[in-house]
Chains A and B, each alone.
Chain A
């Protein structure tokens, strides 16, 4: 399976996926840490992928979304954004709605 297929399978097979540096217990970058805090604050049930463990995924995820940075949030197969967009959506109260709406669908 190609890296792109592998990524597609992961983001379509899980409601909420965060591609990040490190793990939810030990984020290896401030932006990834903030993304985890936001997902926990909205009570999201999510899986994480540590890009530091796989260079193929680390580069492949950037191509997948045409987005050059990590972390990256996917909700129900759709790319939502990086940590700035997560922060802005969280502050506006939009992120919890998006995640819950998708969970019901």
Chain B
């Protein structure tokens, strides 16, 4: 089963400079992601960057993920 720690690790590995907090029960997860890479991006683009970091795991292991994306200045 996927743990919050797994998701944190995957996002941090795929998104440069990201600081990630995740909680969840193995099925539904909530993530807060802070990254300088989000600067100047729309919310859609920011979420797409996180989805890209998670790749095909979004289709399989991760059933439901809520997220908030912030730049270091917003955090």
Q: A: which residues have CB within 8 A of B?
A: 29-31, 66-69, 79-85, 88-89
A84 near B58 with CB under 8 A, answer no
Complexed CA–CA distance, A79 and B48 (Å): 12
Kindly list chain A residues whose C-beta atoms are within 8 Å of the C-beta of B58: 68-69
The reply to whether the CB of B43 lies closer than 8 angstroms to some CB of chain A is yes
B66 near A81 with CB under 8 A, answer no
Complexed CA–CA distance, A83 and B67 (Å): 10
B47 near A81 with CB under 8 A, answer yes
Complexed CA–CA distance, A68 and B63 (Å): 11
Complexed CA–CA distance, A29 and B65 (Å): 13
B66 near A85 with CB under 8 A, answer no
Which chain B residue lies CB-closest to A62?
B59
